[in-house]
C-alpha cells in the first residue's frame, strides 16, 4: 500500500507550481528570486461592476439599441462620458455614472467595471522562478529545510524562527510572549490558552508553529491575522522529535511559514520552509513509497498517537483493539516499548 | 427468487473509486447463479502525490488477484480478457466514482418555488455544491448577481425556467445576466451551461450563450407548473458530472474507456440499486437507502420504482465530519456513547479525523465515537431529506420518515463494525424508522457497484442482491403514539410452521426481540394497544404475513419517536447497554 508521507527534510530541493485560480497576469519574470509573501500574479476576480440598461435609458427596443452604443468592450471611460445615445431633437443619452472600463456588452446592456481590485496571488514559497506558463502558473525552486504540517489557517508569513519551546512537551502560555518576539515566527509545543494566541497577534508576531492546538481554540486560530500552522493535530500531542530537532537547529533563521489550508485534492499542505544558501543542489523529495520494514513512521491515531516508531513487522490481516480487522505494523516505539498499529494509522516521515 | 441463469456466465469486475478507498470487486457465476466472490481494497490515489486514480485501481486489482488467485492483470497492468477456460480475466468491467471535490454549481430558475426548486432538486441529487442560486425574485442588484456569478468560479451553471409555451422574455433576461457574467471570466474558466427550461427557447439560448461557452440542453424539467420531469436532465447532469470530474481526476478517463458503461457517480449508482430493490423485492411502502461515505452521505428513496436521491457532499465520516460538526452540538453526539469519554477527547478525535480521513478507529473508545458521530451524520442527512419523500407515502407520525419496507445501509463505518448489533442500533437511532421495516446491511460495500452492473447484466444484480452478500439484520416493528410509560403497547403472536405460539406483550420504552432464524419465515399477528400505530392506522392491528428472520430475528422498537435520551450519563449508559443486550440476548 502507498504510504502517506509527511516530509521533515533537513535539506531538499523544493519545487512548487503555483497555479492561478483563473487566467491572469503574471507579474514576475524567469530568474526572479522571490519571498513567500511576494505577489506573483493578478487575476480579474473581485472586480466590481455596474450594469447599465442602454435600451431602457434610451427608450429603444433591445434589437435596435446595439447600434446606439458608442463604446466597445475594453474601452476606458471617464465619469459622465457618453456610452450610448440617439440622435435627433428628442435625443437621449446614457452616461457613465463613474469612471471605469467597458467590461461587457450584451443585449442592450453594458457592464461597466468600476474598480480594479484584482485578486493577488502570492508565491507562498520563497525561491527562484524557474518556469512560467503565461497567464496560468509560476514554478519556483527553493533549496531549503522543509517541514510539512497538518493544519493551517491559510495565511503566509515570513520572519526569523524563534524557539519558544524548550522541548517537545512544551506548552505555550501568554507569559512567554513579549515585545521582543515582534516580527518572529515562533515555534511552540501545545497551545490551550486563548490569551496566548491573542497576545501573539497584538505583539505582533509573523507566524506561529505549534506542535498541537486545543480543539476548542480552532475558531480562534482561524481568525488570527498571522499565520498559524499545527504539525501534529488537535488535542494535546507532543511535537514530533525529528521536526523539533530540525527547527531547533535553525533557531534564528529566516523562514517562510506557508500556513495554507490542507487541500487533499490539490495535495497542498501547510509547511515551514527555511531557505538554505550554499547548500548545493540536493535531490527533490521522494514522493511515492510503500511501507517497508525498517522505516520510521509516525502514528496518526489511537493510543500511540503522535509517537514515532520503526516498523519491525508488517502483518496482513489482524484484529485491532477496536475489533476491526485490517493490515497492521508492529513498531518499536521511539519512546520505548512495542506497539501494533493499523497501517491506515501510520505515515512515513520523509 | 429471480428466475433464470446467468445469460452467458459472464464474470465482472466492478471498481468503486471512493474518496478514501478504491475497491475492486469480482462477480462470477457459481453453480449457475451469480455470486460476489471477493474484493480488493487500496487507498484512493486521486490526490498527492500521484494525482492518478489508476494507481489505486491497480493496487486494488492486484489485491483482488491475490485473494482470488485469478489473473486479472498482465505485465502492462491492464485487465485481461477472459481465457478460454474462464480462469483468468473478466468479461466486463464497470466503475463508479465518488472521489474528487463536488461540482460547484450555480442554479438559475425563474421562480424560487417552481423552476428554481426543480433545478435545485436536480442538482442536489448529484455530487454537487450549489454555490449560488438566482431567480427573478433575487433581491440583489443585477451587477451584484453578475459579480457573484463570475467570482464563484462555478464548474457548471444549470438554467431552467418557463413552462412549455410559457414565459420566455424573463428566461432570456436571466440568460443575459449569465452571458454578461461569463464574459468577465477568461474563456478557459467559463463553465458549461445546462439549459433545462422552456424548450421553445433552446435556439435563442444557443444564440446568446453558445458563443461564450458550451451549452448543453435537455428537456424542460418543469413542463407545467405542477409537473416535474427530471429524467432527461438527470441523464445530462450525469454526463456533465463525469466530463467535469474527468478533467480534475487523473485516470478517470482511462477507467471510463475500460468500463462497459459510462462511469457513473456512486450516488446515482447507489440510487439505481435502491430503485431496483424497490421493484424486485416487492416493497409497496417504499425503500430507503443510506450510504454513509467518508466525504458524502447519500440518501435515496424509491416508491414503486420512483427514485429520489439526495447527495450531501458536506456530510460524511472523513472530511465530511467538518460539515456535521458545523451544525451539531457535542451533546447530540455524546448522547449515543456508552463509555464515559471526556468531551475533549471526543472533540479532538472528531476534529482530527477530517485531516486524516483514512485513519481507522483502533481502540473501543474511538470506534464508539465514530458510531456516535455516524448516527448524527445520518440523522442530519435524513432530516435534510424529509422534503424529498413523497407526500402520499404513509406517515404514522408527522415529522418522521415515512413507512419504508426496507432500509439498505451502506458505508464502511456502519458495515464494517465487528458487532452487527451496533450497526443495527446505529441505523435505528439515526433513521428512527416507523412502521414495519427490514434493515439490510451492505456488508461488502456492493450497492453502488451493483447499480452500475445492473446496466450491463440485470440478472447479475438481482442474483447478487438475493444472495447472502447482503446481511438482513432483521425486521423491526416500530409502533408510535402516546403510551403510558412502562405499559404494554403491543400484543403479538407468532405463527411458525403453522403453529401458533404464545401471545407476547411488548412493553413501551425499549427494544424487545422475538427469535426468528435468518431466512425462516413466520406470520405475525400484531394488536396495538393504547391507540398505538404500527402504520396500519391508530389502534389498528392485523397479520403481517411471511416475515423473514434476520440476524436479530424480529425486533420491536418501542422507544418512541423521536428517541429521548436521559441527560445523566449513568442512566444513558444503562439504557444503551440494555438495548444492546436486548439484541444479543446478553444480561
CATH of residue A79: 2.40.50.100
- 3-state SS class at A207: strand
- Contacts with B, A 281-300, CB within 8 Å: 287-288, 300
Pairwise CA distance, residues B339 & B465, whole Å: 36
At B5 the pLDDT is 47
Element (H, E) at B88: none
Q: Contacts of residue A287 in chain B, CB cutoff 8 Å?
A: 48-50
Binary contact (B49, A22; C-beta < 8 A): no
Contacts with B355 from chain A: Cβ below 8 Å: 150-151, 233, 262
Residue B135 near residue B114 (C-beta atoms within 8 A): no
Let me know if residue A280 belongs to a domain.
no
Joined grid coordinates for residue A157:
508569513
For A133, the grid coordinates are: 506558463
Contact B352 A301 (CB under 8 A): yes
A78 burial level (CB within 10 Å; 0-12, 13-18, 19+):
exposed
**How much of chain B exceeds pLDDT 90, in percent?**
74
Domain boundary among A115, A138, A170: A115
Instruction: From residue A132, give the alpha-carbon distance in Å to each of A29, A138, B343.
Output: 8, 5, 50
Of the residues A228, A243, A275, the one at which a domain ends: A275
Cross-chain residue pair B360–A320, CB shorter than 8 Å:
yes
Does residue A318 contact residue A328 with C-beta atoms inside 8 Å?
yes
Listed in sequence order, the residues at least 6 apart from B132 whose beta carbon sits closer than 8 Å to its beta carbon are B106, B107, B148, B149, B152, B154
- Residue A338 within any structural domain of the chain: yes
More confident residue, B49 or B193: B193
Specify if A245 maps to a domain.
yes
| Alpha helical stretches, state H, chain A | 54-58, 62-65, 194-202, 218-223, 241-249
Q: Tally A–B CB contacts below 8 A.
A: 169
What is the residue whose three cell numbers read 508492529?
Answer: A330
Q: What is the pLDDT of residues B467-499, one digit of tens each?
A: 889 999 999 999 999 999 989 999 999 999 889
Reduce the DSSP state of residue B451 to 3 states and report it.
helix
Task: From B255, B259, B231, select the one nearest B245 (Cα to Cα).
Answer: B255
B143 touches chain A (CB under 8 A): yes
Report yes or no: B237 and B68 within 8 Å, Cβ to Cβ.
no
A283 found inside a domain: no
pLDDT at B44 exceeding the cut of 90: yes
Grid cell locating B490: 403491543
User: Would residue A288 count as lying in a domain?
Assistant: no
**Same-domain pairing of A71 and A130:** no
Q: Is B392 exposed, middle or buried (0-12, 13-18, 19+ CB in 10 A)?
A: exposed
CA–CA min distance B34, chain A (Å) = 27
- Cβ contact B176–A49 (<8 Å): no
CB contact, 8 Å: A15 with chain B? no
Contact of A59 with A44, CB cutoff 8 Å: no
**What's the pLDDT tens digit per position in B272-317?**
999 988 887 666 789 999 999 999 999 999 998 889 999 999 999 9
Distance CA A303, CA A307 (A): 9
Domain match, A30 and A68 both: no
Q: Under an 8 A CB cutoff, do A324 and B347 touch? A: no
As a whole number of angstroms, the distance between CA A147 and CA A242 comes to: 10
CA distance B266 to B242: 11
Cβ within 8 Å, pair A215-B351: yes
Q: Which of B45, B38, B440 is nearest to B277 (CA)?
A: B440
Please check whether residue B176 touches A, CB under 8 A. Answer: yes
Under the banding of pLDDT at 50, 70 and 90, the label for residue B253 is very high
User: How many C-beta atoms surround the C-beta of residue B462 within 10 A?
Assistant: 22
Question: Same domain for A247 and A312?
Answer: no
> Are A144 and A232 members of one domain?
yes
Residues from chain B that touch A4, judged by Cβ atoms under 8 A, are 358
CB contact under 8 A, B363 and A302: yes
Question: Which of A3, A2, A15, A6 lies closest to A242, judged by CA?
Answer: A6
Query: How far out from the chain centre does Cα A175 lie?
Result: 29
Considering CB atoms only, which of A103, A218, A302 is closest to B366? Answer: A302
Interface of A with B in 39-68 (CB under 8 A): 44-51
Tell me the residues of chain A between 154 and 213 that have a Cβ less than 8 Å away from chain B: none
Secondary structure of B503-536 in HEC code, one letter for each residue: CEEEECCCEEEECCCCCCEEEEEEEECCCCECCC
Cα gap B583→B587, rounded to integer Å: 10
Q: Which of B173-177, B450-454, B552-556 has the lowest mean pLDDT?
A: B173-177
Which residue from A331, A300, A299, A301 is spatially nearest to A313, judged by alpha carbons? A331
Would you call A51 and B146 a contact, using CB atoms and an 8 Å cutoff?
Answer: yes
Which of B43, B45, B359 is the closest to A301 by Cβ?
B359
How far, CA to CA in Å, does A324 sit from each of A313, B317, B340, B507?
19, 16, 21, 34
Q: Which of B42, B47, B364 lies closest to A1 in CB terms?
A: B42
We report the CATH number of the domain holding residue A264 as 3.50.30.10
Look at residue B3 in the predicted model and tell me its pLDDT: 46
Q: What are phi and psi of A206, to 5 degrees?
A: -100, -10
Q: Half-sphere exposure of residue B462, counting CA atoms within 13 Å on the CB side? A: 15
- Predicted pLDDT of residue B2: 45
For the residues of B328-348, what is the DSSP string, one character each?
Answer: --HHHHHTT--S---HHHHHH
Kindly state whether residues A126 and A226 are assigned to the same domain: yes
Do A300 and A204 belong to one domain? no
Interface test with A, best of B360, B366, B367, B415 (most A CBs within 10 A): B360
Q: Contact A49/B55, CB-based, under 8 Å?
A: no
CA distance linking residue B234 with residue B118, whole number of Å? 12
Q: How far apart are CA A187 and CA A247, in angstroms?
A: 8
Inter-chain CB proximity B364 and A323 less than 8 Å: yes
Distance CA A99, CA A115 (A): 9
Instruction: Give the range of the structural domain holding residue A212, as residue numbers without chain letter.
Output: 5-42+121-275
B147: closest CA of chain A, how far (Å): 7
Q: How far is CA A233 from CA A206, A229, A230, B355, B430, in A?
A: 21, 10, 6, 8, 29
- Does residue A290 fall inside a structural domain? no
As for how many domains chain A has, the answer is 3
Residue A285 is assigned to a structural domain of this protein: no
Q: Is the pLDDT of residue B546 over 60?
A: yes
pLDDT of residue A87: 65
Q: Reduced to 3 DSSP states, what percent helix, strand and coil does chain B have, rounded to the nearest 5?
A: 35, 25, 40
DSSP labels, B74-131: -TT-PBPPP-TTS-SS-SEEEEEE--SPPEEEEEE-SSTTTHHHHHHHHHHTSSEEEE
Q: Is B49 on the interface with A (CB under 8 A)?
A: yes
B169 reaches A (C-beta below 8 A): no
Q: Are residues A104 and A219 in the same domain?
A: no
CA dist A83 and A68 (Å) reads 9
A53 and A105 fall within a common domain: yes
Q: Where in chain B is the domain with CATH 3.30.420.40?
A: 12-97
Contact B366 A326 (CB under 8 A): no
Cβ of B360 under 8 Å from any chain A Cβ?
yes
Residue B295 DSSP code? S
ipTM of the complex: 0.90
Q: Just give the CATH number of B12-97.
A: 3.30.420.40
The SS3 assignment for B568 reads coil
Same domain, A203 and A78: no
Walking along chain A (350 residues) 10 residues at a time, the average pLDDT comes out as 89 94 92 96 81 86 81 90 76 87 85 78 96 96 97 97 96 97 97 97 97 97 98 93 96 97 90 92 86 94 92 94 95 93 94
What b/e sequence results for A166-179 when a residue is b if at least 16 CB atoms lie within 10 Å of its CB, and e otherwise?
Answer: eebebbbeeebbee
Q: Residue B363: which of A17, A345, A232 has the closest Cα?
A: A345
Q: Which residue of B has its CA nearest to A149?
A: B355
Q: Which residues 6+ apart lie within 8 Å of B314 measured at CB?
A: B129, B320, B322, B323, B326
Is B176 in contact with A266 (Cβ distance < 8 A)? no
| A81 and A37 housed in the same domain | no
Of A21, A267, A325, the CB nearest to B47: A267
Second CATH level (architecture) for the domain B103-247:
3-Layer(aba) Sandwich (3.40)
Give the CA dihedral B65, B68, B69, B73, nearest 10 degrees: -20
Using a CB-CB distance cutoff of 8 angstroms, which residues of chain B are in contact with residue A344? 358-360
Q: Give the number of other Cβ atoms within 10 Å of residue A30's Cβ.
A: 11
pLDDT digits (tens, 9 = 90+) for B122-165: 999 999 999 999 998 899 988 888 888 888 999 999 999 887 77
Does A132 reside within a domain? yes
Give span(s): CATH 3.40.50.2300, chain B: 103-247
pLDDT in tens, B86-96: 678 898 999 99
Q: In this predicted model, what pLDDT tens digit does every residue of A319-349 receive, in sequence order?
A: 999 999 999 999 999 889 999 999 999 999 8
Q: Which of A58, A93, A115 is the last residue of a domain?
A: A115
Q: Which residues of B touch A265 (CB under 8 A)?
A: 46-47, 100-101, 248
Disruptive mutation site among B362, B363, B368, B369 for chain A (greatest number of A CBs within 10 Å): B362
Q: How far is A254 from chain B (nearest CA, A)?
A: 28
Q: Which residue of A has its CA nearest to B211?
A: A106
Q: Which residue of B has its CA nearest to A285?
A: B49
Residue with the larger pLDDT of the pair B83 and A224: A224
The pLDDT of residue B282 is 64
Residue-averaged pLDDT of chain B:
92
Cα A32–Cα A35–Cα A41 angle in degrees, nearest 5: 65
* Helix pair angle (B364-385, B420-431), 10° resolution: 30
Pairwise CB contact (< 8 Å): A322 & B48: no
Amino acid at each position: 500500500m502507498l504510504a502517506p508521507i509527511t516530509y521533515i527534510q533537513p535539506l531538499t530541493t523544493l519545487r512548487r507550481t503555483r497555479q492561478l485560480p483563473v487566467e491572469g497576469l503574471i507579474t514576475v519574470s524567469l530568474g526572479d528570486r522571490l519571498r513567500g509573501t511576494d505577489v506573483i500574479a493578478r487575476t480579474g476576480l473581485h472586480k466590481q461592476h455596474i450594469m447599465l440598461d442602454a435600451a431602457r435609458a434610451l427608450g429603444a427596443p433591445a434589437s435596435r439599441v446595439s447600434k446606439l452604443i458608442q463604446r466597445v468592450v475594453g474601452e476606458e471611460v471617464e465619469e459622465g462620458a457618453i456610452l450610448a445615445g440617439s440622435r435627433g431633437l428628442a435625443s437621449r443619452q446614457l452616461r457613465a455614472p463613474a469612471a471605469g472600463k467597458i467590461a461587457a456588452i450584451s443585449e442592450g446592456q453594458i457592464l461597466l467595471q468600476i474598480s480594479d481590485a484584482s485578486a493577488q496571488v502570492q508565491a507562498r514559497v520563497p525561491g527562484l522562478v524557474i518556469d512560467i506558463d503565461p497567464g496560468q502558473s509560476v514554478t519556483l525552486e527553493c533549496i531549503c529545510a522543509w517541514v510539512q504540517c497538518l493544519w493551517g489557517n491559510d495565511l503566509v508569513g515570513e520572519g526569523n524562527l524563534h524557539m519558544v519551546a524548550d522541548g517537545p512537551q512544551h506548552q505555550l502560555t501568554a507569559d512567554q510572549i513579549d515585545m521582543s518576539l515582534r516580527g518572529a515566527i515562533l515555534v511552540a509545543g501545545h497551545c490551550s490558552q486563548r490569551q496566548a494566541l491573542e497576545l501573539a497577534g497584538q505583539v505582533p508576531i509573523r507566524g506561529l508553529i505549534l506542535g498541537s492546538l486545543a480543539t476548542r481554540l480552532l475558531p480562534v486560530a482561524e481568525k488570527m491575522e498571522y499565520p498559524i500552522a499545527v504539525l501534529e493535530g488537535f488535542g494535546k500531542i507532543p511535537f514530533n522529535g525529528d521536526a523539533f530537532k530540525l527547527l531547533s537547529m535553525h533557531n534564528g533563521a529566516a523562514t517562510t511559514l506557508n500556513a495554507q489550508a490542507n487541500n487533499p485534492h490539490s495535495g497542498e499542505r501547510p509547511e515551514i520552509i527555511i531557505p538554505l544558501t550554499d547548500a548545493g543542489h540536493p535531490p527533490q523529495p521522494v514522493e511515492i513509497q510503500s511501507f517497508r520494514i525498517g522505516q520510521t513512521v509516525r502514528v496518526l491515531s489511537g493510543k500511540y498517537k503522535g509517537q514515532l516508531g520503526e516498523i519491525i513487522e508488517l502483518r496482513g490481516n489482524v484484529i485491532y483493539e477496536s475489533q476491526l480487522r485490517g493490515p497492521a505494523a508492529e513498531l518499536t516505539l521511539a519512546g520505548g516499548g512495542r506497539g501494533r498499529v493499523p497501517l491506515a494509522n501510520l505515515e512515513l516521515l520523509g | 427468487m429471480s428466475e433464470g441463469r446467468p445469460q452467458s456466465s459472464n464474470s465482472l469486475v466492478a471498481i468503486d473509486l471512493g474518496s478514501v478507498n478504491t475497491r475492486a470487486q469480482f462477480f462470477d457465476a457459481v453453480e449457475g447463479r451469480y455470486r460476489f466472490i471477493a474484493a480488493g481494497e487500496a487507498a484512493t490515489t486521486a490526490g498527492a502525490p500521484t494525482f492518478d486514480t489508476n494507481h489505486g485501481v491497480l493496487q486494488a486489482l492486484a489485491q483482488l488477484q491475490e485473494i482470488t488467485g485469478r489473473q486479472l492483470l498482465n505485465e502492462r497492468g491492464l485487465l485481461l480478457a477472459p481465457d478460454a477456460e474462464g480462469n483468468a480475466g473478466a468479461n466486463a468491467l464497470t466503475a463508479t466514482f465518488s472521489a474528487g471535490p463536488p461540482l460547484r454549481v450555480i442554479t438559475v430558475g425563474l421562480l424560487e418555488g417552481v423552476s428554481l426548486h426543480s433545478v435545485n432538486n436536480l442538482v442536489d441529487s448529484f455530487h454537487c455544491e450549489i454555490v449560488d442560486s438566482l431567480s427573478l425574485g433575487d433581491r440583489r442588484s443585477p451587477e451584484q448577481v453578475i459579480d457573484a456569478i463570475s467570482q464563484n468560479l462555478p464548474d457548471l451553471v444549470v438554467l431552467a425556467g418557463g413552462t412549455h409555451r410559457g414565459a420566455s422574455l424573463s428566461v432570456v433576461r436571466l440568460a443575459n445576466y449569465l452571458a454578461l457574467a461569463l464574459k468577465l471570466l477568461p474563456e478557459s474558466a467559463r463553465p458549461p451551461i445546462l439549459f433545462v427550461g422552456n424548450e421553445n427557447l433552446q435556439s435563442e439560448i444557443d444564440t446568446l450563450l453558445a458563443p461564450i461557452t458550451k451549452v448543453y440542453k435537455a428537456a424542460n424539467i418543469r413542463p407545467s407548473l405542477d409537473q416535474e420531469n427530471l429524467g432527461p436532465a438527470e441523464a445530462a447532469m450525469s454526463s456533465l458530472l463525469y466530463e467535469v470530474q474527468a478533467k480534475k481526476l487523473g485516470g478517470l478517463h482511462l477507467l471510463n474507456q475500460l468500463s462497459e458503461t459510462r462511469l457513473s457517480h456512486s450516488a446515482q449508482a447507489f440510487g439505481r440499486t435502491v430503485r431496483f430493490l424497490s421493484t424486485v423485492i416487492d416493497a409497496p411502502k417504499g425503500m430507503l437507502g443510506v450510504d454513509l461515505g467518508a466525504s458524502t452521505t447519500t440518501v435515496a428513496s424509491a416508491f414503486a420504482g420512483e427514485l429520489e436521491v439526495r447527495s450531501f457532499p458536506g456530510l460524511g465520516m472523513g472530511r465530511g465530519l467538518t460539515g456535521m460538526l458545523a451544525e451539531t452540538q457535542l451533546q447530540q453526539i455524546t448522547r449515543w456513547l456508552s463509555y464515559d469519554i471526556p468531551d475533549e477527547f471526543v472533540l479532538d478525535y472528531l476534529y482530527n479525523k477530517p485531516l486524516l480521513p483514512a485513519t481507522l478507529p483502533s481502540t473501543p473508545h474511538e470506534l464508539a465515537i465514530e458510531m456516535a458521530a455516524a448516527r448524527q451524520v445520518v440523522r442530519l442527512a435524513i432530516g435534510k431529506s424529509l422534503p424529498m419523500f413523497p407526500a402520499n407515502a404513509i406517515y404514522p407520525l408527522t415529522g418522521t420518515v415515512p413507512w419504508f419496507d426496507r432500509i439498505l445501509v451502506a458505508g464502511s463505518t456502519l458495515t464494517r463494525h465487528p458487532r452487527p448489533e451496533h450497526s443495527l442500533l446505529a441505523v435505528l437511532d439515526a433513521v428512527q424508522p416507523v412502521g414495519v421495516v427490514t434493515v439490510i446491511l451492505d456488508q461488502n460495500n456492493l450497492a453502488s457497484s451493483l447499480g452500475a452492473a445492473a446496466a450491463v447484466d440485470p440478472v447479475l444484480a438481482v442474483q447478487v442482491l438475493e444472495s447472502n452478500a447482503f446481511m438482513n439484520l432483521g425486521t423491526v416493528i416500530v409502533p408510535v403514539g402516546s403510551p403510558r410509560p412502562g405499559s404494554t403497547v403491543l400484543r403479538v403472536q407468532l405463527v411458525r410452521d403453522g403453529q401458533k405460539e404464545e401471545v407476547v406483550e411488548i412493553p413501551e420504552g425499549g427494544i424487545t426481540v422475538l427469535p426468528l432464524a435468518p431466512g425462516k419465515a413466520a406470520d405475525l399477528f400484531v394488536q396495538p394497544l393504547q391507540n398505538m400505530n404500527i402504520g396500519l392506522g391508530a389502534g389498528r392491528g392485523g397479520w403481517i404475513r411471511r416475515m423473514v428472520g434476520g440476524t436479530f430475528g424480529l425486533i420491536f422498537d418501542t422507544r418512541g419517536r423521536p428517541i429521548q435520551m436521559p441527560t445523566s450519563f449513568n442512566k444513558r449508559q444503562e439504557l444503551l447497554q440494555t438495548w444492546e443486550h436486548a439484541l444479543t440476548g446478553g444480561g
